[in-house]
Amino acid sequence: MDMKLKDLLEKKKSTILQRWFEGIMATYPADTSGFLKKQKDMFLNPVGHTFTQGIDNIIETLIAGEGFTEDLPLLDDIIRVRAIQDFTPAQALNFVFFLKRVIRKELEKEIKQNKLYDELLEFESEIDELALYTFNIYVKCREQLYQLKTDELKRMTFSLLKKANLMSEIPAEEFEHSDRDLIKTAEDDLSRSNE
């Protein structure tokens, strides 16, 4: 009797999740990784909890064949964590591709016995699609992070200039007056050039 790939995934889900989680944790330094793996309390280890819940949700969505959108909350949470950490984009998002390796390794024998190569390729295509969504989310998170840094730098610069009395506030009327003068000058120049 042939077993479908999704049935195998459901059957070995806990092992696959454990191996995937371990692969993700291996991307962190040893001391951080050890803490993230061992500490199970969601309040003492929110990052580990986020990953555990997120990858479980991802596997469930993949098995159900529901497809992904960029508003999958637990996927978004994982990407936000990875986006603020000291990873390159490739390092931050490689956890998605770990899943392919874990599945091939865990189900290798069953895939060969039941000749599930086509199903495996289709499932891996869904993982590739997931990777594209994670990239989009990652880019948005990084843009937000850079915008926050830029805004903070502007605030700090303005504050320092003001403290050093190198900056004074210009009343809004002066801006309006300057704008009117510039417009008038431009109109005069235009009318002269048309003469």
The DSSP secondary structure of 99-147, one letter per residue, reads HHHHHHHHHHHHHHHHT-HHHHHHHHHHHHHHHHHHHHHHHHHHHHHHH
Tokens of 59: 């596997």
Whether 192 has a pLDDT exceeding 70, the answer reads: no
pTM of the model: 0.72
| Site of tokens 């990777």 | 131
pLDDT tier at 2, thresholds 50, 70, 90: very low
- Chain segment 81-120, per-residue pLDDT in tens: 899 888 999 999 999 999 999 999 999 999 999 899 999 9
Whether 61 has a pLDDT exceeding 50, the answer reads: yes
What mean pLDDT is predicted for residues 179-192?
A: 58
Compute and round to an integer the Cα radius of gyration of the chain.
27
pLDDT tier at 1, thresholds 50, 70, 90: very low
Spell 111-120 as b/e; 16+ CB within 10 A means b. beebebeebb
